Homo-oligomer: A and B are copies of this chain.
Amino acid sequence: MKKITALALAALATTFVVPASAQFAKAEDAVKYRQSAFFVMQQNFGRVAGMAAGKVPFDAKVAADSAAVAEYVGKLPWAAFGQGTDKGDTKAKAAIWTDKATFDEGANKMQAEMVKLAAAAKTGNLDNIKVAANAVGGTCKSCHDDFKAK
């Protein structure tokens, strides 16, 4: 019985994405956590974007793997923007907390475009990847403009 419930929850969790209810011991841990997740995401996305831009030779397997990792890890940073994590070694602007609805919308848009990129990369079609990578890049920039200090 317990098992069935757990499986049902697991199924839900894969549908509604999995950013573990954030419980960080210290605010610094939350800051480092979101920076770490963004870095892992960016390294993987950057690899695909580099191929899309023709700066790196296209390798369909690497593109698909990297986009899949970027999609997954791109779900993680958001749980680490809790109250009280606006201080310390962070470029996060106050607007993240004062205009949380807009921030959340941007975060969701990025994740939605990343899902499309991962799907495009799985097809192995470079033209599709270019379109999707541009869309992801647009969501990164738009959010950074508003919510990340230079």
Contact = CB atoms under 8 A, between A and B. Distances in A.
Interface of A: 2-3, 5-7, 9-10, 13, 18-21, 23-24, 29, 32-33, 35-37, 39-40, 43-44, 47, 56, 59-62, 64-66, 68-69, 72-73, 76, 119, 122-125
- Smallest CB-CB A-B distances: 4 pairs: A36-B36, A20-B66, A20-B65, A36-B39
A112 B28 CA distance: 30
B36 A5 contact: no
Nearest to A10: B122
Contact of A39 (B33, B60, B125): B33
Given A6-B122, A9-B64, A19-B65, 6 more contacts: A6-B64, A13-B64, A20-B62, A20-B65, A21-B62, A36-B40
